[in-house]
Structure 1
Amino acid sequence: MLPGTRGLFIAMEGGDGAGKSTQAQRLDAALQETGRTVLRTREPGGTPVGEALRTLVLEHGNGEIDARTEALIFAASRAAHVQQVIEPALAAGTVVVCDRYVDSSIAYQGAGRQLGTETVRTLNEWATGGLQPDLTILLDVDPERGRDRRTAGRAAEDRLESEPDTFHQQIRLAFLEAAQTAPDRYLVLDAGRPVDELAAAIRRRVEELLP
């Protein structure tokens, strides 16, 4: 970025097994090759408190976590992440590539847990101070395909991954509905496309937004 220029905020969204982490890593590397300063981060997480909350909410064995508590944990992690990491990086002109952001809570807790998408949206607008990504990349994946991908070579799924495919289908639809409300701010891609092809499409769209 040019000196004094605010950075670019990019969120990677999609169901479990969509390949978000892979594409975030590819985009990070591609941007750094052009001399950009990049921060690649994730949610929940990104800060010490966020990583502790990630373990609490995603790992099995922490007792019952009801839907409302789950939503609040994600929002608390996100509040710390925005305040301590994302906003300072953007102010410094950094390109921030975040694996999951508010749309994930709207989809998982709002739709999947049936707390209501507007309720969860309002909670997260308060937690983030209204910070929105400049671009959200949605990798759309069929729940069955996503499960096949994420269980390949792994011993177990986390709390949310292990929910039934009906839950993940609700999430998929919520992501797609969000993208339809602001098409200029979303890039929706079929997660089943080859990894290199997806990376190239993402890079082209991001380059259009860079100064």
Structure 2
Amino acid sequence: MTAGAERASAPGLFVTFEGGDGVGKTTQSTLLEEWLRGAGHSVVRTREPGGTEVGVLIRDIVLHHRGEVAPRAEALLYAADRAHHIESLVRPALARGEVVIQDRYLDSSVAYQGAGRVLGRDEVRDLSLWATGGLLPDLTVLLDLDPAAARARLDADDKPFDRLESERETFHARVRDEFLSLAAAEPDRFLVLDASRPAHDLAGDIRTRVRALLDLDAA
């Protein structure tokens, strides 16, 4: 674990979902939320960017702004969103003993801005750790999928691509490689799953890992 970083601590549980665009993070976040609520847990579902009112404004800039956003400015905007989001929403929820399920966190910045934008892993990670006071998730689920297969899923949705989704294949290849490198460096935090598998099977693997973290009886 990087110096200055800390895992989210009890009584709450912090779970993040990572991976390229189109890998199924929303589907698996929803299935996990439904299962946890059914087991009686209080759940906070959120995302980055856009998990707060401030974050919605930043999300519009970094993903939908028609003009150019310089790579370093992009990284700083994500860090600003993350600092506010963690301080105002995530840490209070964890302190209340709730389960936080979050779509994207600092690993996305390392992959997309650090590798995709070629700003450097260490610089981007250190920026995010400073912004969040060093908070790391208890579990990061990495849904891994070949970028071409992920793009086919996005094409099937027939929705306009945002700024990052519109990047070239080489960009998304760098992002995928960086995600896998991050997972290899922190195997205790990451659960890496083949996102081409059926959604039900993936959900079962995620539940098994979360059940162990929550010390739940088999359900």
- TM-score, normalised by the number of residues in structure 2: 0.92
Partner of 1:13: 18
2:121 matches 1:117? yes
Give 1:69-88 correspondences, 5 Å limit: 69-88=73-92
Q: How does 1:19-34 map to 2 (within 5 A)?
A: 19-34=24-39
Task: Give SS of 1:184's match.
Answer: coil
How many residues in Structure 1 have an aligned counterpart in Structure 2? Answer: 206
The alpha-carbon deviation at position 155 of structure 1 amounts to: 3.3
| Matched letter for residue 201 of structure 1 | D
Amino acid across the alignment from 2:60: T
Amino acid at match of 1:6: P
- The match for 2:49 is 44
Offset of residue 104 of structure 1: 0.0
Give the letter for the 1:102 counterpart.
Answer: L
Letter of the 2:115 partner, please give it: A
* Number of the residue aligned with 1:59: 64
Structure 2 distance, partners of 1:72, 1:12, is 21
Secondary structure in structure 2 of the residue aligned to 1:118: helix
2:197 & 2:78 partners in 1: Cα distance? 30
CA distance in 2, matches of 1:54, 1:22: 20
Q: In the aligned structure 2, how far is the partner of 1:50 from the partner of 1:78? A: 8
| Percent identity of equivalent pairs | 56
1:60 is displaced (CA, Å) by 4.2
CA distance in 2, matches of 1:67, 1:6: 37
Paired amino acid for 1:158: D
Q: Counterpart of 1:106 in structure 2: which amino acid?
A: V
Distance 2:212 2:181 in 1: 24
1: CA distance, partners of 2:192 / 2:164? 23
Moved more, 148-157 or 87-96: 148-157
Out of 135, 149, 170, which is 1:131 matched to?
135
SS at match of 1:183: coil
Other structure's SS at 2:15 match: strand
**Aligned alpha-carbon RMSD (Å):** 0.8
Report the secondary structure of 2:40's partner residue: coil
Q: Which runs of 4+ in 1 moved over 4 A?
A: none
Instruction: Output aligned runs, 1:180-199, within 5 Å.
Output: 180-199=184-203
The within-5 A match list for 1:198-209 is 198-209=202-213
Per-residue displacement from partner, 1:116-149 (whole Å, max 9, x unpaired)? 0000011001001000000000000100001011
The within-5 A match list for 1:92-107 is 92-107=96-111
Q: What is the TM-score with the length of structure 1 in the denominator?
A: 0.96
Following TM superposition, by how much is the alpha carbon of 1:53 offset from its aligned partner in structure 2, in angstroms? 0.4
